[in-house]
Amino acid sequence: MEELKLKKKGVKKMPLTDKDIQVLKKKYTWPQMQPEFSPVEWILDGGGKELVVNRICKDKPFLIIEIGCFLGSSIKKWFAVSSNVYIIAIDPWEGDWWVDYARMHGRHSLTAQFARENGPYLTFLSSLWGYKERLFPVRGASPEKLYELAKLGIQPDLIYFDSDKTGMDIEIAHQLFPDAILTGDDWTWGIEQGYPIREAVRIFSKDHGYQIVANRATWVLAQTPLKLSEKIYNMLSFARDFNRALRRFVK
């Protein structure tokens, strides 16, 4: 893996320049015509995304990176909050699991669409076509694409993780983009494995002096003391964990 030699300290948050936007548009292109794939609305939401919405409203980020985008329901939510934000979407959009997942959920027309050449990727593009002026699809995996963006001189204001359940990219993202707000999904995923994302988030927060705010499936790292509303989110999250554990125990 590439060494972490791109760390930049004290980068002041600034709006994306026209040069930044043109660099991204040139490298991460859209097709000239909308793909002949039916747009799809499929929301996978474990709840709690208001934590991210609150940060977007408060901090007014100019550039968001989302890692693990599926068909873009979260991206649409971030765009709905801000008419000024640009978003980089990182996802391979490949693999047999897309077809199996659609079939498992009874989405038969989508199963056939995913089975076509580049089906998941072209379905994503068609579904997000209306946002193409402010959205940059980056087809590939993290952290490789994070290194690529850092080499381009791109500095995001917020990074949302919704892919690898182990959280291995969190430390790398912080090294490359030390001023970015870090947040993500899967806080409630994997009870049988002991909620694996939590371990990485807690280790990172301890090492770097962050505070964790969690609500349902969503987590956010804060560098300032938690407000009362954030403490309440954490209390409710703890109560839900307790109830889940109790239900498993009494089965």
The CATH number given to whatever domain includes residue 173 is 3.40.50.150
Q: Quick one: pLDDT band at residue 1, thresholds 50, 70, 90?
A: very low
Coil/strand/helix, residue 68: coil
Beta bridge pairs of residue 218: 215
pLDDT score recorded for residue 76:
97
Q: How far apart are CA 206 and CA 86, in angstroms?
A: 30
Residue 178 lies in a domain: yes
Q: Is the pLDDT of residue 9 over 70?
A: no
Residue 153 lies in a domain: yes
Q: Is the pLDDT of residue 153 over 50?
A: yes
Residue 99 lies in a domain: yes
Both tokens of 69, joined, read 């985008």
Q: How far apart are CA 212 and CA 202, in angstroms?
A: 8
Q: Is the pLDDT of residue 131 over 50?
A: yes
Q: Quick one: pLDDT band at residue 3, thresholds 50, 70, 90?
A: very low
Residue 103 has a CB neighbour count (10 Å cut-off) of: 15
Can you give the pTM of this predicted structure? 0.92
User: Which residues constitute the domain of residue 104?
Assistant: 18-250
pLDDT score recorded for residue 13:
59
Beta bridge pairs of residue 65: 88, 159
**pLDDT single digits (tens) 198-233:** 999 999 999 999 999 999 999 999 999 999 999 999
**What is the average pLDDT across 62-78?**
97
Residue 1 lies in a domain: no
Residue 246 lies in a domain: yes
89: DSSP letter: E
> Phi, psi at residue 146, to the nearest 5°?
-70, -40
Q: Quick one: pLDDT band at residue 11, thresholds 50, 70, 90?
A: very low
Beta bridge pairs of residue 220: 183, 213
pLDDT score recorded for residue 241:
85
Residue 4 lies in a domain: no
Beta bridge pairs of residue 135: 87
Residue 3 lies in a domain: no
Residue 153 has a CB neighbour count (10 Å cut-off) of: 11
Q: How far apart are CA 150 and CA 7, in angstroms?
A: 9
Residue 10 lies in a domain: no
Contact 152, 23 (CB under 8 A): yes
How many separate domains does the chain show? Answer: 1
